[in-house]
Amino acid sequence: MAAARYRAESENGDHIDDPSEDALFMLIEDLNDSGNTFVVIQPDEDDPAWFTSVAVLDDGGYEVVRRDTTRREHDVATATSIDRVARDLTIWMSARDFPGRPTQRTKTAG
C-alpha cells in the first residue's frame, strides 16, 4: 500500500488518508460547536509546507484557512455550503506539491 500524500484529521480524532471530495464533505458535515469544531488537512510529513483547515463559526457557517508557505499563499474565507468547501479544497489541494511528485510550474510569456 502506498504512503499517504496528505491526511485529514478532525478535532475528535477522526482521520482519513488522502480524502476524496466526498470524504471531506463527511468530515466537515460531522463538525459541531461542542467537541468537534475543526478539521485540518495537510501533507503526512514532518514540517509540512502547506495546510488547510475548516472550523465551525459561532454564528453558523465555516471558516476556511488555506496556507502554502512555498507559494506565499495565506487565505481566510467564510462559507456556508459544505459541498462548496469540500469541492474548493479538493481543487486547491490537487495543485499542491507532494514529495515524490514533480513540482508544478507555470509558463511565463517569453
What are 33-79's pLDDT values in tens digits? 889 999 999 998 889 999 999 999 998 899 999 999 999 999 999 99
Place of cell 489541494: 93
pTM of the model: 0.83
Collect contacts of 47-54 with beta carbons under 8 A, ≥24 apart.
49/96, 49/97, 50/96, 50/97, 52/89, 52/92, 52/93, 54/28, 54/85, 54/89
